[in-house]
Structure formats: C-alpha cells, structure tokens
Structure 1
C-alpha cells in the first residue's frame, strides 16, 4: 500500500481481528501485511503495549507440537475497539468528504 499506516491503525486492526477470534502473532502479522509494510519487530511491541494497557490477554496453546502465544481481547479491549470504530467512522467520512469536494473550510 502506498499510504503509511500509523501504530494506532495497527492497534485498531489487531483489536478487530482478535475480537472475531483469538489469534497468534504470525497470523496477525500476515493479515496486517495486507495493508501495511510491517515487520514482526514492529508488531510485537504493539501487541505488548495492548497487553500492558489491558486490552489483550494472552495464553499458550499447542499447534502441531509447537507452543503458540495466543491473544484474546478483554472487556477493556472491546471498549477501546468501540471507541476506535467511532473515531474511524468520523475520520473516513471526513476524508471521503474532502476528496468528494463536500467538505471545505
């Protein structure tokens, strides 16, 4: 993608993903790479930040004999996701309005 992706948008995407289904780091990174050039070294500090903020919790699970760290959204994470969804709607409506010439100061 041509447009840069902020860490806030990445946080938003992560919360949206794990709201639907618990996920592990590699799976999260592969999905986010659809819209952002992100390296795992960038993703994991964001996951840790979300965990420290109380938006995600983690647990270990085994898959094909290997341990994976799964991320699960917390109640606080759902609240943050709702806030980010509202902010995103305002942001995209404003951007679309400017592009379409409907909004001008």
Structure 2
C-alpha cells in the first residue's frame, strides 16, 4: 500500500527542500524520490503552480552547453512553508492520537469446555 501525499504536503516538501538550497527540477525530483514515490511528471506542474503563487522564482544557469532552470524559494514561500509546517504538526498530532493508542483487550470469552 502506498499512502498518497496531498497537494499541500507536496508543496511543503518542495518548499522545505528549496529552503535548504536552490535546485533544478530533475535534482529536486531525485531528492524527493529518496523518501517518497513521485513521478517526475508530477513535479513540474507543482513547480509552475508554486511559481504562479510567487512562492518560488526561477533562474537559469549554463550546464554543459545548455541551461538548467533553478528554483529558489521566496520570502512569501518561506511564510507559506511556516503555515504548512504548523498545519502538518497539528495534523500529525491528530493522526498519532489514533496510531499510538494501546490496543484494547478483546471482550470475547474463551470457552474452556472443549
């Protein structure tokens, strides 16, 4: 079973990685795939959306005769990451409430007459 990551959490993952360093799309995909299942085609629409929200900016750097497009988090992106981080912490705490509950003893009685 593979638990699907929501759009908001994927936004948070991308922003958190880019808070550490600027990256180009393929390297960013590889970094995410170290921990999560992610198709390379999934990431580029996310990057475009985050850029449209002004949470990222791009710049090009030459590499082996071609340009690589790098993504950089903006101050607005850092603010959004703080919001996502707070929301994730609360969500995780609410889920952990269920996952960390001790198992209740069963109420079935054992019939020892056999």
> Normalising to structure 1: TM-score of the pair?
0.88
> 2:63, 2:96 → 1: CA distance?
43
Identify the residue that residue 78 of structure 2 maps to in structure 1.
78
Per-residue deviation, 1:49: 0.1
SS class of match (1:54): coil
> 2:101, 2:51 → 1: CA distance?
41
Cα RMSD of the aligned pairs, angstroms, is: 1.6
Per-residue deviation, 1:97: 1.4
Size of the aligned set, in residue pairs, is: 102
> 2:76, 2:38 → 1: CA distance?
25
> Normalising to structure 2: TM-score of the pair?
0.82
> 1:91, 1:62 → 2: CA distance?
41
Consecutive unaligned residues in structure 2, runs of 5 or more: 103-114
SS class of match (2:91): helix
Consecutive unaligned residues in structure 1, runs of 5 or more: none
- Aligned ranges 1:4-83 → 2 under 5 Å: 4-83=4-83
